[in-house]
Structure 1
Amino acid sequence: MKNLLNQLYARQPLSREAAYITLKRIANGEAAEPEIAAVVSAINMRPPHLSEIQGFRDAMLELAVPFELEGRPTIDIVGTGGDGKNTFNISTLSCFVVAGAGYPVTKHGSYGVSSNVGSSDVLQALGYQFSNDRDKLMADLDRAGICFLHAPLFHPAMKNVVPVRKSLRVRTFFNLLGPLINPARPRYQLFGTYDREVSRIYDYLLQGEENRDYLIVHALDGYDEISLTGGASVRGRRCQAIFYPDDFGLPELSPPSLYGGETPEEGKAIFLGVLEGNCTPEQLAVVSANAGLAIHVIHPERSLPDCVAEARESIESGRARNVLHKLLG
């Protein structure tokens, strides 16, 4: 570990193999908490490197509890977090909207670490019971059109990292890994990243996975999702463009309209408000935009405004709300 730290302190990138070995050592309990904190801090002090993300991802997927979909096409909508914007749970809500529109969702998420309320925080507040039992999750998927893969149950080897991340309370390279390690390996995915360079790394990693379709979003003002507060860089296998609110047929929003509260209970209230139609026009617009873009991943031949309209109809018809009721039932 000493040689590794010296390399990191010298700002030298780790090879893919070295990153893989490092993460496996951490997962296997071979590194003390101060050493883990030192590794995380050293990597945080410079931009991410492709070889490191590849190696860390290799190890995480190898160590994960498998979740086999047996060829069923599903989608996940997930952001890195760590953008410091403290928005409400837009990506998680968008998953319920997409499921309400008839597209199966395998959502991967966890507790908020660098943000106040993560997807697991709000679902737990709603009464959802986490599980990594495949039969139970497949039953959720069949009944509700969505299942939730709580990351700590699928990546138990990361229990050694949790205390360090909680104590640091800042964005780390684990934020970058989270969206890339959904054990379901969904056929479709909408990613959000807090940094444009991270978007490029994601795109490079995913270009070789020919059995997956995806889009990667980075709002130009720093959000890890379509915020409608300005333009957003969107890239994928067949797309590289800047999308503006007009492209979605929606108005530009102000950052305060996306505020997500400070506690899981506040997050829960906003979450239910959107699904029950008791939300602000801005909240409805931003969820419709992200859910619409996710539908566009599945149906790239459809226009963005048409996909947004399909998402909005899922909310206004009550179908998105029914997805939640079925999942909790």
Structure 2
Amino acid sequence: MQAFIAKVGKGAKTAKDLTWDEAKQAMGLLIEGSATPAQAGAFLMAMRMKGESVGELAAFTAVARQYVLPLSGLSGLKMVDVPCYAGKRDTFYAVVGAAIIAAAAGASVLMHGWEGTPERPGPWSVLGRLGISTDLGPAEVSETLASKGFAYLDMAIYHPPLARFLDLRRELGLRNFFHPVARLINPARARCQLIGMAHPPYCDKTVEALNMLGAPHALVMRGVEGEPELSIASLTRFVELRDGRLIPTTLHPKDVGLPLGTSRDMAGFAPSLRDQEAALLVKILQGEVKGGPRDWVVLNAAMLLYASGVTPSMVAGVPLANQTIDRGAARDKLRLLAQMGTASAASRLRAS
């Protein structure tokens, strides 16, 4: 570990990227706990100052995947992987409502994340208030995903060593390369990955790392607050990876037949008011909200329907998403997921 720290930590002009094998060895030492706390902290900060190369990011992800089994029993599903690790402060979680709509329309959506920092709660804070389980083990997640089309996986349950390094953000106040690795890990090995980033340079780096890892399809965007969401109030730039081709794209809501919204349409709730956010999503899914907030959720549902392969384009996803709300299927899907959450909690209580 000392040699790796020395190589990446020599400063802006003399630091060097690790080779593929060196990056794999370093990641193994971190995950297995062989590196001392001082060495781990020094390596993480040196990598942050240098910046991860595409090869390093791909190698780190490849090793992280080796320490856990992928979710099983999911072959043949029209599935999309939706990692949520940035947390929200200024906008509501449109992707949560979008995922439920997409699941009701035939997609299978695996959302995963971790508790993050108190000032930027993740989607678990809203899902729990909707009655959807956020503490399922891998086998339960697989079963729920296969039978109901949507599930949330807590990275602390699925991959504890990786989550341990995510938790360092609370202690250090800065992200480290385990955050993009968590976005890339793809627990179900879904054919399509939908990844949001806060910083534009990471979009190109992330999609190139996915290509190096052999991902068949991905959409990597500068998402709203760093989460995998298209904006209803502005252009969204993203790069699509499809079978080895990288396709830079700029999407305006009007491109898919939706009116341009405003930042007010996306306005969120303080961490202490997540009940109100959940109530808004319920009203949207029940068809009780018209205008900008609904359009924002529909826009992102269309993206999920396209990414999963349910529709051939985002344009085709918009009317399907609206129909799914209007005919009550989104409302019914939410009720079903909430019932499963209640049943699962009761089962775990009996077991304890």
Q: What band does the TM-score fall into relative to the shorter chain?
A: 0.7 to 0.9
User: Cα–Cα, structure 1 residues 301 and 288, in superposed 2: closer, same or farther, change >3 Å?
Assistant: closer
2:137 aligned with 1:118: no
| Counterpart Cα distance in 2 of 1:301 and 1:269 | 29
* Offset, 1:83: 8.3
Q: Indicate the residue corresponding to 1:254 in structure 2.
A: 262
2:106 aligned with 1:102: yes
Secondary structure in 1 aligned to 2:80? strand
2:173 aligned with 1:207: no
Secondary structure in 2 aligned to 1:228? coil
Unaligned segments of structure 2, at least 5 residues = 340-352
Which of the numbers 277, 296, 299 marks the counterpart of 1:286? 296
| Counterpart Cα distance in 2 of 1:277 and 1:300 | 22
- 1:73-110 Cα offsets, whole Å, 9 max, x none, are 33235356448764322223221111011112232232
- 1:302-328 Cα offsets, whole Å, 9 max, x none, are 453321121222233332232222122
Q: Indicate the residue corresponding to 1:178 in structure 2.
A: 182
Superposition pairs of residues 55-70 of structure 1, within 5 angstroms = 55-70=59-74
Q: Indicate the residue corresponding to 1:74 in structure 2.
A: 78
Alignment length (residue pairs): 328
User: Cα–Cα, structure 1 residues 27 and 271, in superposed 2: closer, same or farther, change >3 Å?
Assistant: farther
Secondary structure in 2 aligned to 1:45? helix
Secondary structure in 1 aligned to 2:112? strand
Which amino acid letter does the alignment assign opposite residue 9 of structure 1?
Answer: G
* Offset, 1:57: 0.2
2:6 aligned with 1:6: yes
| Counterpart Cα distance in 1 of 2:108 and 2:148 | 9
Secondary structure in 2 aligned to 1:183? coil
Superposition pairs of residues 185-200 of structure 1, within 5 angstroms = 185-200=189-204
Residue range with higher mean Cα deviation, 244-253 or 211-220: 211-220
- 1:151-183 Cα offsets, whole Å, 9 max, x none, are 211112225324412223443322312221121
User: Cα–Cα, structure 1 residues 307 and 157, in superposed 2: closer, same or farther, change >3 Å?
Assistant: same
- 1:217-243 Cα offsets, whole Å, 9 max, x none, are 225997753112322223222643211
Unaligned segments of structure 1, at least 5 residues = none
Q: Contact 2:194–2:218 at 8 Å: present in 1 too?
A: yes
Q: Contact 2:78–2:108 at 8 Å: present in 1 too?
A: yes
| Counterpart Cα distance in 1 of 2:211 and 2:295 | 30
Larger Rg over CA atoms: 2
Superposition pairs of residues 1-329 of structure 1, within 5 angstroms = 1-10=1-10, 11-78=15-82, 81-82=85-86, 86-113=90-117, 116-127=120-131, 128-134=133-139, 136-207=140-211, 212-218=216-222, 224-236=228-240, 237=242, 239-263=247-271, 264-279=274-289, 281-299=291-309, 302-329=312-339
Which amino acid letter does the alignment assign opposite residue 295 of structure 1?
Answer: L
Which amino acid letter does the alignment assign opposite residue 309 of structure 1?
Answer: P
Q: Contact 1:233–1:241 at 8 Å: present in 2 too?
A: yes
User: Cα–Cα, structure 1 residues 81 and 108, in superposed 2: closer, same or farther, change >3 Å?
Assistant: closer
| Counterpart Cα distance in 1 of 2:24 and 2:115 | 24
Q: Contact 1:20–1:56 at 8 Å: present in 2 too?
A: yes
Which amino acid letter does the alignment assign opposite residue 169 of structure 2?
Answer: R
Q: Contact 1:275–1:320 at 8 Å: present in 2 too?
A: yes
User: Cα–Cα, structure 1 residues 256 and 25, in superposed 2: closer, same or farther, change >3 Å?
Assistant: farther
Output the aligned Cα RMSD.
Answer: 3.0
| Counterpart Cα distance in 1 of 2:267 and 2:122 | 14
